[in-house]
Amino acid sequence: MTKPLFIVFFLMGFYSFSQNDSIKFKNNDVLVGEIKTLLNGTLTMKTSYSDKDFKIEFKEVSEIYLNQTFVILLLNGEYYLGTAKTTKTNIIEIRDNKGFVFETNLENLSQVKESGTKFWSRFKGNIDLGFNLTKANNAVQFNLNSALMYVGKKWNFNASYGNTINNQDEVDITKRIQGDLDAQRFFVNDFFGIAQVSFLSNTEQALKGRTTSLLGIGKYIMRTNKLYLGLRTGLNYNIETYFDPTVDKNSTEVNLGAGLNMFDFNDFYLSTDVIGYYSLTESDRFRFDYNINLKYDMPWDFYIKFDFSLNYDNQPADTGSEFDYVFNSGFGWELK
């Protein structure tokens, strides 16, 4: 009985090992484990002999073997759901879940995201908190930001929420709440479709709530292992309520925006975007939103974040301001 049991356990161990992913470095070192992501030029890998995930610069990798199911994105914008392995120097073979097989250069890999067959494995998220206290005027600021993302072969879904509250002596409390729910559908040649519903409330612009429904199309005009640069345009419909109900209104706008995502500089990540809106139903009304985010990754999936948001409306409510802006810093944790 001992020998058959030994064979069974040996085969089980071999099978388990064979299901692991692996990479080979340019210095011929080999790392075996579970690849989590290749994102922003950094490959994240979990191993059984380390409590901390390895963060690896992808430019140092010479061979890669993906034995699990991944969402694989190439630099030309094509998406595949399947596996990949190195077959010869600088060449990988990609096999999708429908049996289609082809070869491409290793440096054409833009993103790799663990997918598998489990629905919940395709989610990732983050949450961060910030708190500032100033003795002068007893000024207090609190901010909360969170996000949840679903990653599929052709669809991405994102939900985010942010809340900022400022309070100090002899000054009215200022509040800002923003929430977004959006979907992206990826097409060929780096084109993508957008559907979004967003909500914004801020006391600075006397805006009780603006609910925006948006449909649009975009294109990545530059996509490398160091940065993404994309353009987008579309139509949106606004339902706006103010603290003065006499100025409540609905409107239709055309929008045009651009976004830049920079990475591959150690543990720092920078993203920024701007989108302008021109009203089709209100005379000469124009507004724009601008955001910039800087994040520094720390051990055990913690991070420090700084972000700045600016909103402009050239036709605000009579009691509101044309500009509203907020600067936040926070400490958070990321679900990967």
Of the listed ranges 115-119, 299-303, 324-328, the least confidently predicted one is 115-119
Question: Which band of pLDDT confidence, cut at 50, 70 and 90, is reported for residue 119?
Answer: low
**pLDDT tens-digit readout, 171-200:** 778 899 999 999 999 888 889 999 999 999
pLDDT for position 1: 43
Average pLDDT over residues 307-324: 87
Query: Looking at the predicted structure, is the pLDDT value of residue 68 above 70?
Result: yes
What would the 3-class secondary structure string for 161-230 be? Answer: EEEEEEEECCEEEEEEEEEEEEEEEECHHHEEEEEEEEEEEECCCCEEEEEEEEEEEEEEEEECCCEEEE
Q: Give the separation between CA 161 and CA 180, rounded to whole angstroms.
A: 7
For the stretch 240-270, pLDDT in tens is 999 999 889 999 999 999 999 887 666 788 9
Q: Domains, the chain, ranges and CATH? A: 16-117 (no CATH), 123-335 (2.40.160.40)
Asked if pLDDT for residue 17 goes beyond 60, the answer is no
DSSP strand pairing (139-151 vs 123-134):
antiparallel
Tell whether the model's pLDDT for residue 233 goes beyond 70.
yes
Q: Is the pLDDT of residue 124 over 70?
A: yes
Average pLDDT over all residues of the chain: 84
For residue 273, the model assigns a pLDDT of 94
| pLDDT computed for residue 118 by the predictor | 59
**Cβ–Cβ under 8 Å, residues 171 and 156:** no
Choose among 176, 165, 162, 160: nearest CA to 142: 165
pLDDT in tens, 143-177: 888 999 887 777 889 999 999 888 877 777 889 99
Nearest to 21 by CA among 31, 30, 34, 12: 34
Between 137 and 105, whose confidence is greater? Answer: 105
Q: State residue 305's pLDDT score.
A: 86
pLDDT at 220 over 80: yes
pLDDT of residue 223: 78
What pLDDT, on a 0 to 100 scale, did the predictor assign at position 14? 40
In the predicted model, what is the mean pLDDT of residues 293-320?
85
Whether residue 63 is predicted with pLDDT greater than 90 in this model: the reply is yes
Average pLDDT over residues 285-297: 92
CA neighbor of 253 nearest in space, from 225, 289, 213: 213
Lowest mean pLDDT, pick from 10-19, 30-39, 111-120: 10-19
